[in-house]
Chains A and B, each alone.
Chain A
Amino acid sequence: MNGNNNAARVKRELAQLSFAMDELRLFLDTHPEDETALAASNEVRQKREDVVRQYRRLVGPVNFYEAGGECSWDWLRAPWPWELEGQDDVEL
């Protein structure tokens, strides 16, 4: 149960931090010298890097370049994102 709760937490955090980066990326494209946005981007990126590591351990690799495995290809471990399976713990 604890494992499921942790997986739900990292899924939510990854979605939130990634979205913050998506938003900052577009803002910085039209405001490339904005110091507040640059500082926010650096802060969110560091937090996201940590969450990506936790996500890989609890759910699976989110990006192909992190995929691998000892005895099976972990890229296929989690369901594809359009599948309903594995989404019970995702908060809208």
Chain B
Amino acid sequence: MWSYEKRLQFPVRITHPNAAAAKVIITQYGGPDGELGASMRYLSQRYTMPWRGVAGLLTDIGTEELAHLEMVSAIVYQLTQGLSADEIKRQGFDAYFVDHTTGVWPQAASGTPFDALCFASKGDAITDLHEDLAAEQKARTTYDNILRLVDDPDVIAPIRFLREREIVHFQRFGEALERVKDTLNSRNFYAFNPSFDR
């Protein structure tokens, strides 16, 4: 089960609303490399992970991604408060506004709704860990792109924090993959699925 902590992992305090920034940052909520897909990816993969430590890593990173989901939501929420309909229109947020007002909903920056096809749970320890390494890099690239598009220090600070976490997670998944490969059965030279072919 999960136990909610009434705090953000890193503070979000945005005093200047900016719907144009919210429109791109929402992609890290429900976009192809966003935090919703990240948490669901790791929390789905852990059941068929035969190594207890790696299942622990998937649980703990999956849980941290839920905290990142909350941070991204807080950024989007604060960026869209206190705006007039005219400002929403001028800042290009009208297409989102007509469907959701300022409610937070998982979609990509392009408007494409969240799709579970943006992540995989393949039931193969080696396949899944390669997916996870790629996912962390894709999320890092997305945060890099967000940092190219925003200039408000209140927005930059939490986005930078989230970007750094992708790098740490990539490092930990790399160590997990090495551990898995080191402990494969010596007859399993071609790394056939260690989750299924026991």
A residues in contact (CB < 8 Å) with B: 11, 14-15, 18-19, 22-23, 25-27, 29-32, 60-65, 75, 78, 80-82, 84, 87, 90-92
Contacts and interface: CB of A to CB of B under 8 A. Distances in A.
Q: Which 5 A-B pairs have the closest CB atoms?
A: A82-B74, A30-B175, A29-B57, A90-B11, A81-B8
Contact of A18 (B9, B60, B169): B9
A28 to B, nearest CB: 9
B172 A30 contact: yes
Contacts of B15: 84
B20 interface: no
Contacts, number: 81
B176 interface: yes
Interface of B: 3-15, 53-54, 56-57, 60-61, 64, 70, 73-74, 77-78, 81, 154, 157-158, 168-169, 172, 175-176, 179
Centre residue among B3, B154, B169, B172 by max chain A CB count within 10 A: B172
A87 to B, nearest CB: 5
Given A27-B172, A81-B70, A62 B5 contact: yes
A29 B60 contact: yes
Given A18-B9, A23-B168, A82-B74, A63 B53 contact: no
B172 A82 contact: no
Given A18-B9, A60-B6, A92-B158, 12 more contacts: A14-B7, A15-B11, A26-B64, A29-B176, A30-B53, A30-B176, A82-B12, A82-B77, A87-B13, A90-B13, A92-B11, A92-B154
A66 to B, nearest CB: 10
A58 to B, nearest CB: 13
A29 B56 contact: yes
A50 B11 CA distance: 21
Nearest to B58: A29
Nearest to A87: B13
